[in-house]
Structure 1
Amino acid sequence: MPSAPRPRDCVAVDRRAVEIVEVSPRDGLQAEDVVLGTDAKLELIHRVVAAGARRVEVCSFVNPARVPQMADAEAVLAGLPAVDGVTYIGLVLNRRGFDRAAEAGVTEINVVAVASDTFGRRNQGATSDETVAVFEELAPLAVDAGIRATLTVSTSFGCPYEGEVPVARVVEIARRAAAAGAAEVAIADTIGVA
């Protein structure tokens, strides 16, 4: 069995720096049963930035009926102070979410594509190819609007339903994202198996 490509075989890696994107204000809070108010979210984000985070995924422009924890995405973004060197990121999953994010003044969007069809259907209601196609639609719109577009490939290392995810699938998604104009492609260990 051929071994998986090592990072140095795929991309140029700056081994002197690690960049952490803090996602708790979005990913952490949207999983909670309790819906925090806008002021509490802003306080969390303020503390994360004060602790040194420079890129923070602060909200998700999704259907508020399905994810009530993110219903105040525009208010959260509007309530954030400009801080030199800090980027606030909004997650979008479709064109409607992108339009909301752009109107709210976001400077960076992140789209999640899945490497596993089963996980994609259960989590986002779409296959892997469908989630990548969303990014291929949105990235050029973002670039034209002066918004940085990034993609996170979830279940890159494994899926709770399908098991191991083929490296070739993850590489294919990354290549499609790069061709669409991704400023960055993040490879996510969604379930902790890397």
Structure 2
Amino acid sequence: MNNQEKLKVFTDLLRGASWRAVGWRDVDQILELGVLDSHYAFKNLDLFEKKEFKLWLDVGSGNGLNAIPLALMFPDWKGVFVEKNFKKADWLKETLNFLDMHYEVLNFDVRKMVEKPDRYDVITARALFPPNIAFKTLSPLLNKNGFLILFCGKDASVASNKKFKIMTHDYEIDAFGENRKLIIAIKL
């Protein structure tokens, strides 16, 4: 199955999940507002050119957004997906297996990960915590020059920090005219 087919199958799996994996029931909304969100976020952003990332952590990965689309966009990233809820983590493992995608899924509370020695080059999260709490929680898990990327609503922000270069990138989900924002923090 190619990546486009995987995205279509993933959209169908989200819609048919036995639990409410996404709030939208309409296939077009699931596809545009959920599955293709990563594409819209990165389509005019050359953030990763000339960067080589090895270790990626996606937090709050339960329904696979944005983990699965990002994994298809950046196949060289070695990913670990963290989901606190057992049912969601199990569903994500089954979905990845069905799509023949090989990523580690941890059924774990990310707040306990600061006790572990692992550090990551890229950390992504979508609607996990309010942005300032996500920044405070996840930034200790970054390697030097690592990227923390938060998928947020259009009004989101984080406080400045001397140890990070913080940028925002506004983007729009074209088909629905919905405005969103990436908050990107690079550890100095």
Length-normalised TM-score, structure 2: 0.34
Higher Cα Rg, which structure: 1
Q: Which has the higher contact order (CA 8 A, sep 6+)?
A: 2
* Larger helix share, 1 or 2: 1
